[in-house]
Amino acid sequence: MKKFLAMLLAATSILGATALASCNKEEKTYVATAIESEDNEQYGLAVGKNSTNKAAILAAMNTVIAEIEIGDIVSYYEAVEANQTPSVSLTFPNLSDNTAGTLQVYTNAEFAPFEFRDNEQNIVGVDMYIMQLVAEEMNMKVNFHDIAFDAIVGKIAEEDNAIGAAGMTIYDEPKEKVDFSNPYYSTVQCIISTEDQKFNTLEQLAGKKIGVQKGTTGWKMVADAIESGVLKDTGAEVIAYDNGPVAFTALKSGKCDFVVIDELPAKKLVD
């Protein structure tokens, strides 16, 4: 009996010490820091280069982009994504009576506040609102399709009159297959890290595992830096994930050391 009691007391002491250690363990804080010396990127809507109705689609896009207040739209959907009441209001078009067909829009609903799913699992966000306005401009309805981000350019290149609306950066490589609207939003790339490693240059990521979202300019930036830039021969490694939230989860679980992604989604992830 005495031996049993001694073992029980010892086990209790171990459990108590473990619980105390768990209580004293601080939860990590993550921050998003803009990468210095990188030029601003600009988002555009995209349509296949060979689409039969490309001119009309681009004209409608550019008309809408010239008229919107992008700051108000971003603010509205930041609040919606956070389950808060927006401080601004938006006017939503009624597309139900439009008669000129249906726009097919491809996105990746993992990039809040530009595209995400609301509490009813509807695809919503800045880009979805803009595309509703484009559909109204063209007397059309609109369908949204959620696919992998790195598949969007190929999809809209092969499907006639399909549109990409997914926080897509305007740069040369996708221009081989698609044409972009005028820019409607400017952004920078950010490094997500723990607060004690608040880095703001790619050089500081030498030798580290860097998480990115597949198909993004963040992915291209890091891959180029490793292949022939400031991270060449440093031992740095790029790890591509399906979307930003998956990359951030990998960071928190220790599968990568940092994440590089666009500014607004980065800030939403660390909030």
List of the chain residues with pLDDT < 70? 1-26, 38
Phi/psi of residue 61, nearest 5 degrees: -55, -50
pLDDT at 26: 63
Residue 266 in 3-state DSSP? helix
What pTM did the predictor assign? 0.83
Give the per-residue pLDDT at 9: 41
What DSSP string describes 157-194? HHSTT-EEEEEEE--TGGGGTEEE----EEE-EEEEEE
C-beta atoms surrounding 270 within 10 Å: 16
Q: What is the pLDDT of residue 266?
A: 94
The amino acid that residue 263 corresponds to is E
Name the CA radius of gyration of the chain, rounded.
Answer: 23
End-to-end CA distance of the chain: 54
Residue-level length of the chain: 271
Structure confidence at residue 271 (pLDDT): 87
Among 223, 134, 139, 131, smallest CA distance to 168 is for 131
Please give the pLDDT value at position 27. 80
Residue 142 near residue 132 (C-beta atoms within 8 A): yes
